[in-house]
């Protein structure tokens, strides 16, 4: 598991923390679904040949049997092998969390019993596994816990340490598509944008984008313009 100190370091492929946790890596096998422009490819399988690009919002996929290479939204890709892998990751993370004195359904986290950083790492790993299983609202709720335990570990004066996991929390709630999750996503995004970053600079770009995404998603759910 990655160390908590490395969470706010930029990824080599420039993905945000949520993208790295949720989107398929190059080489992953996927099945295509929900395509409207190319409905004939629905149900076809392929391999990811280009990682998620924030500029286009798509991943590159080479379709099997000479079907060609295209760019698709992550929502149109169903991992073929990762469901079992994510379940294995979940079981492993839950076991490790229990060894640190925690549990997935904990009402109040107390990471002081053993190693606080390990507690946070394993709790976040549970959230990541839930995310890969498509359990977005549950993943968001776990990331919410991780965020506040992170503040407890590092101190509220270092609130920017929670930016990466807050980003994953907000995006997971957005992808849940339900009004309760979207309301929480908007509230947390507004809160994150008020936290100083570095030498009083604005929050990272992906955090500011979270606010725009939450406003847009909530507006669409309500059938109107972004809130």
Each residue's pLDDT tens digit, 88-140: 888 889 999 998 888 998 878 876 767 888 888 899 999 988 888 888 999 99
pLDDT at 69 over 70: yes
Q: Which of 26-35, 66-75, 111-120 has the highest mean pLDDT?
A: 66-75
Task: Report the C-alpha gap between 146 and 20 in whole angstroms.
Answer: 17
Pick the range with the lowest mean pLDDT from 2-11, 42-51, 207-216.
Answer: 2-11
Task: Report the C-alpha gap between 85 and 81 in whole angstroms.
Answer: 7
Task: Report the C-alpha gap between 16 and 166 in whole angstroms.
Answer: 11
Task: Report the C-alpha gap between 46 and 196 in whole angstroms.
Answer: 43
CA 128 from centre of chain:
7
**CA-closest candidate to residue 181, choices 216, 214, 145, 208:** 214
Task: Report the C-alpha gap between 136 and 82 in whole angstroms.
Answer: 16
Q: What average pLDDT does the segment 182-187 reach?
A: 94
pLDDT for the residue numbered 8: 39
- Among left, alpha and beta (phi > 0; psi -120 to 50; other), residue 69 is beta
pLDDT > 90: what percent of the chain?
25
Place of tokens 């004066």: 157
pLDDT at 85 over 70: yes
């Amino acid at each position: 598991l990655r160390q908590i100190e490395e969470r706010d370091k930029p990824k080599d492929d420039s993905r945000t923390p949520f993208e790295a946790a949720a989107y398929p890596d190059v080489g992953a096998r996927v099945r295509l679904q929900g395509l409207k422009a190319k409905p004939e490819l629905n149900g076809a399988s392929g391999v990811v040949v280009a990682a998620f690009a924030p500029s286009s919002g798509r991943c590159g996929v080479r379709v099997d049997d000479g079907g060609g290479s295209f760019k698709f939204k992550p929502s149109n890709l169903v991992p073929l092998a990762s469901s079992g892998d994510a379940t294995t990751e979940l079981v492993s993370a839950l076991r490790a969390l229990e060894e640190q004195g925690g549990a997935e359904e904990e009402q109040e986290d107390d990471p002081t019993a053993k190693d606080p950083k390990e507690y946070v790492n394993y709790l976040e790993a549970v959230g990541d596994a839930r995310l890969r299983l498509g359990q977005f609202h549950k993943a968001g709720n776990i990331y919410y816990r991780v965020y506040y335990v992170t503040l407890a570990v590092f101190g509220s004066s270092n609130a920017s340490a929670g930016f990466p996991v807050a980003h994953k929390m907000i995006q997971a709630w957005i992808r849940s598509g339900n009004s309760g999750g979207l309301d929480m996503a908007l509230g947390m995004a507004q809160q994150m944008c008020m936290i100083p970053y570095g030498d009083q600079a604005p929050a990272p770009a992906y955090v500011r984008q979270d606010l725009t995404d939450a406003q847009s998603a909530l507006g669409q759910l309500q059938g109107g313009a972004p809130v």
